[in-house]
Amino acid sequence: MSRKKPGSAVLVGVDESEASLAAVRWAAAEALRRDCLLQLFQAGTAAADQEARERFARAHRWLSRAAQVAQESAPGVATQPLVRAGLAVDLLVERSRSVSLVVLGSHGLGGLRGAAIGSVALRAAASTHCPVVVVRGRAVRGGAVVVGVDTDERVGEFAFEAAANRQVPLIAVHAWRSEGPGRAAAEDRALRECTAAWADKYPEVPVRIRAVRERSPGRALLAVEGAQLLVIGSRGRGPVAGGLLGSTGNRLLAHAACPVAVVRGALR
């Protein structure tokens, strides 16, 4: 049985890039799944002169296009256009205080063309007050939700709820490095204990355990095929320090074959 949190909005960043439209499609389906409002957000400049006013009007036209894309992807989803003047990252971080989820394309909103991951998406994933999903690659229809084991309970809650709402299995991944007799069995047992409480809370979610000897947690997560969503924490393996994601988060945001959720802030 799926779990919904009515009334808490999903916010998606919109610009004139194909990546942002992919994010709109993903966010629209998620907002409909959560039974909540989809806020279509674009950062602009203050309308102090004719050129700025024209850019502002263009932003509203593009948000109308985004609303159409959202309705085509998730018929019946409620949308709200938002255009605000200022820097995209700063505005997204501030808006993240009052929504349940921020969704961004892997590029756009002022990101660097040709970069593995847009600068806005990277900085927002490390700074917002709620979870962020960066839409990249392709979400496999019916694919599992994959979570990198983290000590932060919010990561487990987000991952299990995502799997429950999609009615798909959850794959819990833990990478370990050191050798020793019985180490593999011990790591597998520890991983099962770590997920046991969430498995009890979400009995409808089939849980698969994957404890692997791998120096790189990011590589262990990328090795899971057929996922529709990867979920990681902003601390633990690949911590956030000074507003920047660690190597695991950076690697996944740059190379994952499906959308990546970074659980940093509060769950609403």
pLDDT, average across residues 106-112: 56
- Do 254 and 149 fall within a single domain? yes
Residue 240 lies in a domain: yes
Q: How far apart are CA 200 and CA 30, in angstroms?
A: 24
- Do 217 and 251 fall within a single domain? yes
Q: Who's near 148: CB < 8 A, 6+ residues apart? A: 155, 173, 174, 217, 220, 221, 230, 231, 232, 233, 236, 237, 248
- Do 121 and 154 fall within a single domain? no
Residue 5 lies in a domain: no
Is the pLDDT at 237 greater than 50, yes or no?
no
Is the pLDDT at 7 greater than 80, yes or no?
no
Residue 195 lies in a domain: yes
The pLDDT confidence band at residue 117, using thresholds 50, 70 and 90, is low
**41, β-bridge pairs:** 13, 82
3-state secondary structure of 177: coil
- Do 28 and 111 fall within a single domain? yes
- Measure Cα distances from 6 to 39, 79, 94, 174 in Å: 14, 14, 21, 33
Last residue of a domain, one of 87, 110, 135: 135
pLDDT value of residue 194 = 84
| Residue in the structure block whose two tokens are 């993903």 | 26
- Do 237 and 167 fall within a single domain? yes
Residue 188 lies in a domain: yes
Please name the amino acid found at residue 212.
Answer: V
- Do 48 and 79 fall within a single domain? yes
pLDDT value of residue 185 = 82
Print the domain residue range for 61: 10-135
Domain count, the chain: 2
Last residue of a domain, one of 135, 154, 183: 135
Q: Do 201 and 156 meet the contact criterion of CB atoms below 8 Å apart?
A: no
Residue 253 lies in a domain: yes
Rounded percentage of the chain residues whose pLDDT exceeds 70: 84
DSSP-derived secondary structure letter, 145: E
Residue 1 lies in a domain: no
- Do 39 and 121 fall within a single domain? yes
Helices (H), the chain: 18-34, 50-73, 88-95, 119-127, 153-166, 183-201, 217-222, 247-255
Q: Do 110 and 14 meet the contact criterion of CB atoms below 8 Å apart?
A: no
Q: How far apart are CA 57 and CA 83, in angstroms?
A: 10
- Do 91 and 204 fall within a single domain? no
pLDDT, average across residues 214-233: 91
The CATH number given to whatever domain includes residue 88 is 3.40.50.620
- Do 46 and 149 fall within a single domain? no
- Do 31 and 110 fall within a single domain? yes
Q: Report pTM.
A: 0.88
Q: Do 40 and 104 meet the contact criterion of CB atoms below 8 Å apart?
A: no
Last residue of a domain, one of 135, 165, 186: 135
